[in-house]
Amino acid sequence: MRLSIVHETHYLYESPVLVSHQLLHLTPRVLERQSFAAHRIDIDPIPSEYDVSTDYFGNPVTRALFAMPHTALSVRASSQATIVPRAIDPLSVPSTPWQQVRDRLNSLDAPPLLEPIEFVFESPYVEIFGALTEYAAPSFPTGVGVLQGAADLMRRIHADFEFDATATVVATPLREVLKLRRGVCQDFAHLMIGALRALGLPARYVSGYILTSPPPGYPRLVGADASHAWVSVFEPAAGWIDFDPTNNCLIDDEHVTLAWGRDFGDVTPMRGVILGGGEHTIEVHVTVTPVKSNDG
C-alpha cells in the first residue's frame, strides 16, 4: 500500500508573536515494513533557524525557531509512504503467557529488557490505578498469551467505549474517560496502555495516520481525516506488535507510523513555546489518499 499524506496546521494569533520555538513530529519513521519516497515540510513564515534530528525514542523531529513578529503560522507536511503487509498474522500463533512476560521484566536473574521496561511505568497522561487493573483482568486469565490477551482487551474497549469527539479534551484524565465510556482514539490508546501497564506489561503510544473510506457514493474529502493513535505491545519473541482499539484491528498496511513514546505528550504532532500572541485559533486538516501504482 502506498499512501499520500498531507497534514496542515494553521495558527492565527490575536496579537503578534515575537518569538516562537516549535517542535514537530510530522515525519514518518523508517521501519522494517514502512518507507517513504518523498517528504517535505513547508512553513510560513520561513523559520529563522531550522533543524532536523531524532528524539530520545528515535523519532524524527523538526525544530523551528521564529525570531520575527508574526500573527499567523502555517505548517504543511507532505509525505508518500509505502507500507508492506504483514507476512504472518501475529495472533495466528501462540504468544508468551502474559505472566511470564511480566515476571521476566521484574526478574534479577535474567538479562534486563531495557527498552520495554521503560514502558511499564506511569507517564504524564497514563496514570495507573486499581480500576484499570480490574478492567484488564478478564482479558488476561492465567496462562493466556500476551498478544491474545491484548487482542481481547482491544476488542472489549472497542465494544465498551463510544467514539465521541466532543466528550474529552487532551487533558481529560484517564479516570474520567473510564467513567464516561466515550472519547477519541487518543483516549482509547491511553486506556489500553494504562490497563496493560497496570498488569505489569509494556505498552507504548503510537501516533500516525490511517486510511479511511468515505461512505458509499461519496467522494474522499480533502482535509476530512485526522491524526490517529494506537498501542504497541511487547512480546519477547515477536517484538512490538501494534493494536488499534479505536477500530478493533491489528496495524497492517493502512496505518502510517509517525512516532512513538510513553503517551501523547511525547509525540504531539506540533507543540511549542511562544512569546506574545494572546488568544489564538487553530485549524488542522489531514488528507490520506492511496497512490495508484504505475505498474501495468
Q: What is the CATH number of the domain that holds 199?
A: 3.10.620.30
122 and 108 inside one domain: yes
pLDDT number for residue 212: 79
pLDDT number for residue 87: 87
62 and 153 inside one domain: no
Domain-embedded: residue 275? yes
Round to whole Å and give the CA distance between 76 and 52. 16
Q: How confident is the model at residue 223 (pLDDT cuts 50, 70, 90)?
A: very low
Domain-embedded: residue 8? yes
Domain-embedded: residue 71? yes
71 and 27 inside one domain: yes
Place of cell 490517529: 228
pLDDT number for residue 213: 74
Round to whole Å and give the CA distance between 103 and 110. 10
Round to whole Å and give the CA distance between 196 and 147. 11
154 and 207 inside one domain: yes
Round to whole Å and give the CA distance between 234 and 146. 8
273 and 260 inside one domain: no
Average pLDDT (53-69) is 96
Domains of the chain: total: 2
Q: Which grid coordinates are listed for 61?
A: 523531529
273 and 155 inside one domain: no
120 and 149 inside one domain: yes
Is residue 218 within 8 Å of 212, Cβ to Cβ?
no
Contacts of 204 (CB under 8 A, 6+ apart): 119, 193, 231, 232, 240, 260, 261, 262
Residue with more model confidence, 273 or 224: 273
| Helix (H) or strand (E) run with residue 249 in it | strand 249-250
115 and 229 inside one domain: yes
Contacts of 66 (CB under 8 A, 6+ apart): 17, 19, 20, 21, 22, 45, 47, 48, 73
* Beta bridge partner(s), residue 65: 21, 49
Is residue 158 within 8 Å of 247, Cβ to Cβ?
yes
Domain-embedded: residue 295? no
**Domain residue limits at 197:** 90-266
Q: How many helices (H) and strands (E) are present in the chain, helices listed first?
A: 6, 14
Q: What is the CATH number of the domain that holds 12?
A: 2.60.40.2250
Domain-embedded: residue 296? no
Q: How many CB atoms lie within 10 A of CB 2?
A: 16
| Helix (H) or strand (E) run with residue 153 in it | helix 146-160
Q: Is the pLDDT of residue 295 over 60?
A: no
148 and 221 inside one domain: yes
71 and 108 inside one domain: no
pLDDT digits (tens, 9 = 90+) for 23-59: 999 999 999 999 988 999 999 999 999 999 999 999 9
DSSP, collapsed to helix, strand or coil, labels residue 14 as strand
37 and 104 inside one domain: no
122 and 221 inside one domain: yes
Cβ density class 101-136: b for 16+ within 10 Å, e for less: bbebbeeeeeeebeebeebbeebebbebeeebbebb
